[in-house]
A and B are shown apart, each in its own frame.
Chain A
Amino acid sequence: MTGSGTTLDDYTDRYAQRVRGMTASEIRALFAVASRPEVVSLAGGAPYVSALPLDAVGEMLGRLAIDHGATSLQYGIGQGTLALRERICEVMALSGIGGELGASPEDVVVTVGGQQAIDLLARLFLDPGDVVLAEGPTYVGALGAFQAAQARVVHVTMDDDGLVPEALEAAIAAVAAAGHRAKFLYTIPTYQNPTGVTLTEPRRERVLDICERAGLLVVEDDPYGQLGFEGEAPAPLRARRRDGVFYLSTFSKTFAPGFRVGWVLAPHAVREKLVIASEAQILCPSAFAQAAVTAYLSSMPWREQLKTYREIYRDRRDALLDALAAQMPEGTRWTRPGGGLFVWATLPGGLDAKAMVPRALGARVAYVPGTGFYANGAGTANLRLNFSFSAPDRIREGVRRLAGVVEQELAMRSVFGELPASASRDAPASLLDVAETGVPPTGSEEA
């Protein structure tokens, strides 16, 4: 250990290029306290699984081992069981993917959560340096998957009606003008993560038209579409177009994330490649988890459970929105989602949500700072607030603490004056420089 010293890592020279930047993160480490009950966590994206009929689920799982252990505890096939794929088609029909544009079980590939579906599509379509268009902000796990594929992300502006079609056109043109090719648009059109915003009905058609004209594939991620609080959400993009639209979703929010069961619906030719890629990655999805979801969808009142989730989340969203309105300092803005799990807030006075994290955790409230949802360092003033996990009184207490933290930060700014924001200092100048997915995800959560 004398002489040249030790780095405590004998593999430093052997790592792949993409491993660079995988380092201990101060901000991620700070979130360790969020698991303690003293902290009101508005971070994370955990569904309220305690609302499930746990006794009945437990009995169902027991029967799967006792009565069907020979298959449910065995290897399965790469595409996933036919029984589950049939149920998945019924679930999609409920969302509006039916009739002429309905899905066949043959075109469904079961995945390990939505995250594996994103990763598979990235592996299939993205070469290093390829461009992906995505809402700005977008799902942190998708950014991670695109980064692993060494692709570049160009964000497309959103407003309260979702992705802005003109901004999408401009982004496509800018990418082409720079001599690059955008491979697909990754979008969460309904109750988006992290903003909670929904792409409006008229914009859905426009976005599809724009992508079709530009020859741009659409990857539609729809984990939250069935969690609307105010009537039906607009039908998915895949319910309007079959060609060029890949639809992926998950049972993580509608049943439970512990099973890690998601899926992707893709045209036949692509589906074959998805299966081969998935087999190379995981051999096959968990047979037991698939059997559990199949049994849940076949034998338990899952539509009633969805209703329960919606009612609980609606109350919690209302608690969050009311508390924000009552408590937050003037100038704070936030979205008003009609469903899903998240509210996206913007801080006043040039405050930096990431720099504010230690103070917030010291005050025993956690949120996810906005920069993690951008590939380009944007989002410094933003934070994502989750309302699915904590009870309404905890949410109100969390917002009370958060408001105090923001007041203190504002006071600090008034004492020390304007400061450079921590992340925006690194923000590149041009649209395509922005594309580098150089910012590692800050929050941790599942797809």
Chain B
Amino acid sequence: MNLRVLVLAGGLSHEREVSLKSGRRVFDALRTARIEVELRDADLTLLPVLADDPPDAVVIALHGATGEDGSLRGVLDLCRVPYVGGDARAARLAWDKPSAKAVLREHGIPTPDWVALPHDRFSELGAVAVLDRIVARLGTPLMVKPAQGGSGLGAAVVRDPDGLPAAMVGCFSYHPTALVEQFVAGTDVAVSVVDLGNGPQALPAVEIVPNSGVYDYAARYTAGLTTWHAPARLEPKVADRVAAIALDAHQALGLRDLSRVDLIVDGVGEPHVLEVTVAPGMTETSLLPLAVQAASLDLGEVFATLVARAAGRAR
């Protein structure tokens, strides 16, 4: 059966540029795998296209709210168009970091201790008092990041409590709710989880070593500024544990087809889940494609399998 696939990329989020690159990469990979594929933005033209000429499956390469918060997935469900990846409910859960962390904790999956607060609470209760409580409870250093969003946008490590107000304001520029969590020092790794028909499998962990020490936007998307090790340089026992925890996180959040689990492995080899992404980046410097390569798989074949599985769920 010749599948017709629509890759959605772009969108209105802060990660539009990353999404356009991800979409193009997936588009090229599918075309290499001889799949009939179209690339388009999620805009006013989308629903008429889905109604008039529905594809067999959609790949959502949209990063940010539209692609990851479940809302577009809900619309695709309304249109009865199948898509690769977790359903609307699971996506919504994974997208909201505090909610996802709560579920992970319920499942006994280690994740750094955290507090999530909207900016309104700071104005109501007094910023100084609230920040003091946060520091008293979580200590320092801290990681401040928007409760929703990716690519490290609006995120900052705070080593000194004096730096916390600036980090909060920077974070609130991106999202009205901030997630403040204990900063765990260690090795940054990302585990991509894919289900090619035999249940979810963890691909080799990718270890991230930014030259500057900070995996910020430039380090993520400029070749040469970060060294990636795939597979990660972990003891076999630790690597197994990292893979098992990533799979647990994928399943605890009810995800499907593919996801990327970002973890930190602390000094004693214990992994902590930082966040789980339902629309992992697919750019030239993104982690999932590196993991696919490390697993001796082909990105086009992986996506060909995923779209075939999605199409099989159709209507």
Contact = CB atoms under 8 A, between A and B. Distances in A.
A416 B230 contact: no
Interface string A142-180: 000000000000000000000000000000000000000
A1 B173 contact: no
Contact of B166 (A6, A23, A419): A419
Contact of A24 (B170, B172, B220, B228): B220
Interface stretch (A29-37, A96-104, A185-193, A213-221): A29-37
B231 A412 contact: no
Nearest to B220: A24
Interface stretch (A231-239, A358-366, A386-394): A358-366
B138 interface: no
B182 interface: no
Nearest to B211: A7
A32 B15 CA distance: 8
Contacts of A413: 169
Contacts of B10: 36
B14 interface: yes
Do most interface residues of chain B lie in helix, strand or loop, or is the interface mixed?
mixed
Interface in B136-171: 153-154, 165-166, 168-170
A9 interface: yes
B283 to A, nearest CB: 10
A93 interface: no
Given A32-B17, A36-B12, A2 B229 contact: yes
Given A8-B224, A32-B16, A358-B153, A1 B230 contact: yes
Nearest to A1: B230
A438 to B, nearest CB: 15
B223 A8 contact: yes
Interface in A1-32: 1-2, 4-9, 11-12, 23-26, 29-30, 32
B123 A8 contact: no
Interface string B197-240: 00000000001010000001110111111111111010000000
Contacts of B228: 1, 5-8
B14 A361 contact: yes
Contacts of A36: 10, 12, 16, 41, 43
A358 B220 CA distance: 18
B72 interface: no
A124 interface: no
A413 B122 CA distance: 11
A25 B218 contact: yes
A361 B220 CA distance: 21
B127 interface: yes
B293 A358 contact: no
Interface in B82-135: 119, 122-123, 127
Interface string A385-419: 00000000000000000000000010111011101
A29 B285 CA distance: 15
A416 B144 CA distance: 15
Contacts of B227: 4-7
Contact of B229 (A5, A355, A417): A5
Interface in B218-276: 218, 220-231, 233
A426 interface: no
A16 to B, nearest CB: 14
B13 A33 contact: yes
Nearest to A364: B12
A38 interface: yes
A38 B66 CA distance: 14
A416 B153 CA distance: 20
B81 interface: no
B169 A1 contact: no
Contacts of A11: 224
A358 B173 contact: yes
A235 B228 CA distance: 58
Contacts of B207: 5
Contacts of B218: 23-26
A11 B224 CA distance: 8
Contacts of A1: 228-230, 290, 293-294
A359 B294 CA distance: 38
A23 B223 CA distance: 9
A412 to B, nearest CB: 5
Nearest to B154: A358
Nearest to A24: B221
A411 B124 CA distance: 12
Contacts of A411: 123
A15 to B, nearest CB: 8
A326 B134 CA distance: 40
A9 B217 contact: no
A77 interface: no
B284 interface: yes
A420 interface: yes
A362 B169 contact: no
Contacts of B290: 1, 6
Contacts of B225: 7, 23
B165 A9 contact: no
Given A2-B230, A29-B221, A358-B174, A8 B284 contact: yes
Nearest to B128: A417
A362 B15 CA distance: 11
A355 B284 CA distance: 27
Contact of A416 (B20, B41, B169, B231): B169
B18 interface: yes
A4 B17 CA distance: 30
Contacts of B122: 415-416
A359 B173 contact: yes
A412 B166 contact: no
A357 B14 CA distance: 10
A2 B226 contact: no
A2 B172 CA distance: 39
* 10 nearest CB pairs, A to B: A9-B224, A9-B223, A26-B217, A24-B221, A32-B17, A5-B229, A32-B16, A8-B223, A416-B165, A29-B17
Given A29-B17, A36-B41, 19 more contacts: A1-B229, A1-B293, A5-B207, A5-B230, A7-B225, A8-B285, A9-B223, A23-B218, A24-B220, A25-B218, A26-B153, A26-B217, A33-B16, A355-B170, A358-B173, A416-B166, A416-B169, A417-B165, A420-B166
19 contacts: A1-B229, A2-B233, A5-B207, A7-B226, A8-B224, A9-B223, A24-B218, A26-B218, A29-B17, A29-B221, A355-B170, A357-B173, A415-B122, A415-B127, A416-B165, A417-B127, A417-B165, A419-B169, A420-B166
Interface of A: 1-2, 4-9, 11-12, 23-26, 29-30, 32-33, 36, 38-39, 355-359, 361-362, 364, 409, 411-413, 415-417, 419-420
